[in-house]
Amino acid sequence: MSGEVRVGVLVSGRGSNLDALCRAAADPGYPGRVVLVISNRRDAMALEVAGRWGVPAEAMPVSRYSHDDRARDRAMGERFREAGVALVVCAGYNRVLTEPFLEAYPDAILNVHPSLLPAFGGGMHAVEEALEYGVKISGCTVQLLEPGVPDGGPIILQRAVPVREDDDAASLLERIHEQEWLAVPEAVRLWCEGRIRRDGRVVRIAATPEEGS
Ligand code: GRF
Query: Is the pTM here over 0.85, yes or no?
Result: yes
Ligand 1 atom 1: residue of nearest CA? 92
Q: Which residues of the chain have pLDDT under 50?
A: 1-2
* Closest atom of ligand 1 relative to the 173 alpha carbon: 2
- What is the predicted pLDDT for the residue at 2? 44
- Contact between 187 and 172 (Cβ < 8 Å): no
Ligand 1 atom 7: residue of nearest CA? 92
Ligand 1 atom 6: residue of nearest CA? 92
- What is the predicted pLDDT for the residue at 3? 65
Q: Hey, what CATH topology would domain 5-205 get?
A: Rossmann fold (3.40.50)
Query: Phi/psi of residue 21, each to 5°?
Result: -70, -45
State the distance from the centre of ligand 1 to the C-alpha of 211, rounded, in angstroms. 32
Give the start-to-end residue ranges of the domains of the chain.
5-205
- What is the predicted pLDDT for the residue at 112? 97
pLDDT, one tens digit per residue, over 32-54 is: 999 999 999 999 999 999 999 99
Supply the residues annotated as catalytic: 113
Strands, E, within the chain: which ranges?
5-11, 32-39, 57-59, 87-90, 109-113, 137-144, 155-162, 196-199, 202-205
